Structures are given as structure tokens and as C-alpha cells.
Chains A and B, each alone.
Chain A
């Protein structure tokens, strides 16, 4: 019986460890997936942020050059100088984040060329304004190349934002799905633990009930045997007492007959 219980405890223990191991493995894989999606989401936010900053810088380049061109005052060039200093760093960040695995890799490449072009056009405005005066600069401006490049930058920036927006929505859906899976795993884990506990409880209860029943049967048997022994002892005692009484009774009768016989002999001798 004890050996049987030990085996059942061992089997239950192995079963629990196996189930927990399996659930733990799936939970680990799930967390890994969540981590991957989170990293990707972070990259998308970085792309969106860098893209937005580059677009703003392109506007600063254009606005700074135009302000100087119209006024001829050097302080209007401040946004221009700040923008042409900053945008290469932002472009480096964008190139780093939007690598060949992303959908906007080509667009970033194009954006880089357009920004170079934008910078070059604005430099030309400033140079013409400095060397040939306002009328010559306005004539260059009227050609409209700067406006076209600015429009292309704007459209490209919007396109990058739209593409990455879609990627972001997909990632959020994936994340939500992963969270659902995590909750399902958690419920599965709780369910398995509760089920295992119930099974273990039933096994132990059966064992204990069986053992109690066996103990009760043994106890009843012992009681029955005790009663039988007592009954047999009582029967033997009674039988012995009966036999003893019968012997005494017979002796009593024999003595009586003996006395009567002796009396008759005495009477005969007296005659």
C-alpha cells in the first residue's frame, strides 16, 4: 500500500513538473515574441520621429534661405545654418534604423538625395543673392526647382509616415494578440495546476479511503475473532463446569447407592 502511494506521488510530481515545463516553455517563447515586437515598434517610432524632424529641417533650410534672399540680412540665415548642421545627424539615425529589412529603406535613400538637393538649391539662392542682388535671386527662384524639391520631400515624408503607420498598426495588433496569448497561457497554467491538484487530491483520497476501509475490515475481523475466542472460552468453561458438576453428581449418587447397599448388607447380617 505505502509503495503504491509513493509511486503515485512520484508520478504526480513528474506530471506536474512536465506540465509546468511545457507551459513555461510556451510562456518563454511568448515573452520573446513580445520583446521582438516591442523592439520593432520602438524602431518604427524612431523612424517616424527622425522623418518628422528631417521634414521640419527641410522647411527651415528653405525658409532661412528665402528670408535672406528677400531681406539680405544675415540673421535670417540662422535657421538655415542650424538645419544644414543638424539634418545629416538625423539622416544618419534614420538610415541606421530604416535598414534594408524595413519597407521604407528605398524611400529613406531617396529622401537623403532630395535633402542634399534642397540644400544645394538654397545655397545657390544665397550665393546669387550675395553676388548678384535681389533681382537675380528672384529670377532663380522663379525657375521653381526649389518648390518642386520641397514638394517631393513633403510627399516622400508623408509616404514614409503612412507606410510606417501601417507597420505600427500591424505591430500593435501583434502585440495585442501576444498579450491575449499570454493571458491564455496564464489561465491554462492555473487550470492545469488546479486540475493536477484535484487529480492528486482524488488519488490520495482514494488511497486514504481504501486504507481506512482495509483498517476497518481488519478492526472488524479482530473484533469478530476476539468475540469468537471469548465465546469459545465461555463454551469451554461451561462445558468444563458441566462435566465437573456431572462427575460430582454421579459421585453423589454412587455414594448414596453405596450407603444404601451397606445398609442392606448390615440389615442382612443383623438378621
Chain B
């Protein structure tokens, strides 16, 4: 797997269906809704859907402080922000899927893997 450079990451790389491969909750957080979702759907145009939750998503950068892009989830009653720790891909055709590691501001970490066309049902 090759890690994509942070400055190269665009919304197109994030858009698509992502399944949770593993999650690590912070000791201070008893439950985290985004960790319980079976499938995250980042639509092109900024719409986010996950099971019964829906909202918006976008990427922000603050490269003067950290080079990692920040992914924002906006819901009607709350907002979550997550630092992209890693976005990895295989340079050739393989069984391995793209991997996205998100580190949330509450200390939770989600490892997502991207679904291929037709697998998101």
C-alpha cells in the first residue's frame, strides 16, 4: 500500500462508499455514532449519508499548523472534525482496497476501507 501525499488528497479521493474496518474509541468517549455506522457514503457534492444519519462533509486545510487535511462532518445538531492520518492505495490491481484512517477530535480513530462498484448494496 502506498500512502497518498496529504497535499494531493482531494474530495474525489474521499467520495464513495467506505466500510469500517476497525475502530478505536477514546477512554473518555463512551459511544460515538460514527463508529457504529456500517457504511459511510461520501457523495460527490458534499452530502454525507450513513445508515439513518445524514448531513454534509467537506475538507479543510490548515497547513501552517498541520499538513494533514481535516474532514468535517456537519449534522443538524452537531459537527465532528477528523484529521486524515492516512489515505493509502494499491498502485496495481489487487484484492486490497483503499484505506482511510480518520482521527477524530474526541480521540476516536476509524479505519475505513473503500467499497468497489456494486459492493455497496
Contact = CB atoms under 8 A, between A and B. Distances in A.
Interface string B66-83: 111010000000000101
Interface stretch (A62-70, A179-187, A249-257): A249-257
Contacts of A252: 62, 65-66
A219 interface: no
Which applies to chain B's interface (DSSP): helix, strand, loop or mixed?
A: strand
A167 to B, nearest CB: 96
Contact of B65 (A238, A242, A246, A248): A248
Contact of A250 (B68, B85, B107): B107
B5 to A, nearest CB: 13
B66 A253 contact: no
Interface residues of B, number: 14
B103 interface: yes
A250 B70 CA distance: 12
Interface residues of A, number: 9
A246 B67 CA distance: 11
Nearest to A249: B83
B72 to A, nearest CB: 12
Contact of A245 (B3, B66, B81, B107): B66
A245 B68 contact: yes
A245 B65 CA distance: 9
A146 to B, nearest CB: 126
Contacts of B68: 245, 249
B105 interface: yes
Contacts of A246: 83, 85, 103
A211 to B, nearest CB: 39
Interface in A203-242: 238, 242
A222 B66 CA distance: 37
Interface in B81-98: 81, 83, 85-86
B85 A245 contact: yes
B105 A253 contact: yes
B106 to A, nearest CB: 9
Interface in A161-200: none
- B67, B105, B107: most-surrounded residue (chain A CB, <10 A): B105
Nearest to B85: A242
A67 B86 CA distance: 142
* For the complex of A and B, 8 pairs with smallest distance between CB atoms: A253-B105, A249-B83, A248-B66, A245-B66, A245-B68, A242-B85, A246-B103, A248-B65
21 contacts: A238-B3, A242-B85, A242-B86, A242-B103, A245-B66, A245-B67, A245-B68, A245-B85, A245-B103, A246-B103, A248-B65, A249-B66, A249-B68, A249-B70, A249-B83, A250-B105, A252-B62, A252-B65, A252-B66, A253-B81, A253-B105
